[in-house]
Structure 1
Amino acid sequence: MICVLLNDSDFDRTLSPLEFALEKMGVLYRTWRTFREGFPQDASCCDGLIISGGFTMKNYFEEKSDLYGASYLRNFNKPILGICLGMQILARLAGVSLVVSKELGLSRVWLDGGNDLFKGMKSPLEVCQRHNYALPYVPHGYSIIARNDSTFIQAIASKDNLKYGIQFHPEEIDLGSEMDSLKIFSNFASIVERHSTENSGGGK
């Protein structure tokens, strides 16, 4: 099962666009609203993690100190997908300090079609942007897998193919992200399934 760490308190009692997107793509998931419920106590129940967007990292970092959320992610050795704030959290874990980079509205993003996260997707892709911070450089151990003209680093992937971050919001179909962007979630689910199979003795 994919565990969703939902960081946006605007969706405390209602389904978020991310959850709607996962349901639309038939992805099995369970949500933890980190601002109220914290994190899964038993990480073994999660085959993969999605870290949502949001407004604050307060459950993950306090100034330069790691909190429980950061430690939880550091110790999680299965696939992770970070969206917007989620990607920025992954970057912070890799020692990157963020820079102010406000981007709101729609933009075209060029994808690395050779990466499994973007398998079978069109490029360029029109997507919704909603962020105030961005990565100034690619974190050590990662490579860039998507870009645009205003915020150059639009997606990253770790060299071990376990961690992925995207700056844009593929789930925001109602705000203009193209339907094709939802394939990110089914592709990530395939990555999670493959990793689970290979590490349970079912792989070659």
Structure 2
Amino acid sequence: MKRVILLFLAIIVSVACFSLSKPIALLQNDSDYPNGGSPIENALKKLGVDYVVYRTFLGEFPERGSYSALIISGGNNMAAYFSNSGEPKKPTSLITDAEVPVLGICMGFQLIGRIYGSSLVVLEERGWRKLKIMKDDILLTGIPEEFFAWENHLFSLKDLPKGFELLVVNETGSIQMIKHKKEYIYGVQFHPEKGDNENFNHGYMVLLNFLTLVEHLDNQSTD
């Protein structure tokens, strides 16, 4: 059964190609990949997505209106977004004033949570974890109620940010996926771009569904 699922995912990846009027802006927060090659970059490349990388640890950010969606990667430092006293810096407005879909991954998820009033707690979760859907959403299309995804973090959100709804938790009850109630602003604590040859990462389907949503909205805006 596992081989069948992996083959199905391989077919999806092989035919995926998204047509967008503007590239996706990838906010790369992980300084371990200063020259590219991060898992999220590799995933977008394999999916045939047009994207531009902005290395936030070097002070790079996109010009508003130049992208069809915003993906905020994982990382280990929010200095580009918050001052030492915890005050939000200008780049946080790319999220709060976003007019396109936003997807925050791992630290990107935590960043969204902090911007909207939550705080972080120490909660180390690594490896494959069982997750459970709490509320249906377009980004969860085709994913079973309980599924596995890859996690690799030391911190997590203490509580649900203001104005957001809870979509997914893991077996410990920690928050794993959220969505703004009025905007297409999503956050996932797990890594949808990460997988291996032993487990089917249903989180990857979250990334595919997000890109499909972006393409749909982008085509609507250009009609």
| TM-score normalised by structure 1 residue count | 0.89
| Superposition pairs of residues 58-69 of structure 1, within 5 angstroms | 58-62=79-83, 63-69=85-91
C-alpha separation in 2, matches of 1:135 and 1:160 = 20
Distance 1:133 1:112, change over 3 A: same
C-alpha separation in 2, matches of 1:54 and 1:22 = 17
Asked if the contact 1:84/1:169 (under 8 Å) is kept, the reply is yes
Asked if the contact 1:126/1:178 (under 8 Å) is kept, the reply is yes
State which structure, 1 or 2, has the greater radius of gyration over its C-alpha atoms.
2
C-alpha separation in 1, matches of 2:130 and 2:86 = 33
1:53 to 74, 79, 92: 74
Tell me the alpha carbon deviations over residues 65-96 of structure 1, each in whole angstroms, 9 at most, x when there is no partner.
Answer: 11122133222222100001001111111011
Deviation larger for 12-21 or 189-198: 189-198
Identity of aligned residues (%): 34
Quick check: 1:43 aligned with 2:64?
yes
Distance 1:35 1:177, change over 3 A: farther
Quick check: 1:84 aligned with 2:106?
yes
Distance 1:178 1:113, change over 3 A: farther
Q: Equivalent residue of 1:174, what SS?
A: coil
Asked if the contact 2:135/2:166 (under 8 Å) is kept, the reply is no
Structure 1 match to 2:30: 8
Q: Letter of the 2:196 partner, please give it.
A: D
Quick check: 1:131 aligned with 2:166?
no
| TM-superposed deviation, 1:177 | 6.0
C-alpha separation in 1, matches of 2:202 and 2:190 = 13
Structure 2 match to 1:73: 95
Root-mean-square deviation (CA), in Å?
A: 2.0
Q: Equivalent residue of 1:154, what SS?
A: strand
Q: Equivalent residue of 2:148, what SS?
A: strand
| Superposition pairs of residues 1-204 of structure 1, within 5 angstroms | 1-40=23-62, 42-62=63-83, 63-112=85-134, 114-174=136-196, 178-200=200-222, 202=223
| TM-superposed deviation, 1:37 | 4.8
Q: Equivalent residue of 2:202, what SS?
A: helix
Q: Letter of the 2:65 partner, please give it.
A: S
C-alpha separation in 1, matches of 2:163 and 2:128 = 29
Q: Equivalent residue of 1:44, what SS?
A: coil
Deviation larger for 133-142 or 54-63: 133-142
Distance 1:163 1:177, change over 3 A: farther
Asked if the contact 1:128/1:176 (under 8 Å) is kept, the reply is no
C-alpha separation in 1, matches of 2:203 and 2:157 = 21
| TM-superposed deviation, 1:39 | 0.2
- Count of aligned residue pairs for this structure pair: 200
Q: Letter of the 2:182 partner, please give it.
A: D
Structure 1: gaps spanning 5 or more residues: none
C-alpha separation in 1, matches of 2:33 and 2:165 = 32
| TM-score normalised by structure 2 residue count | 0.82
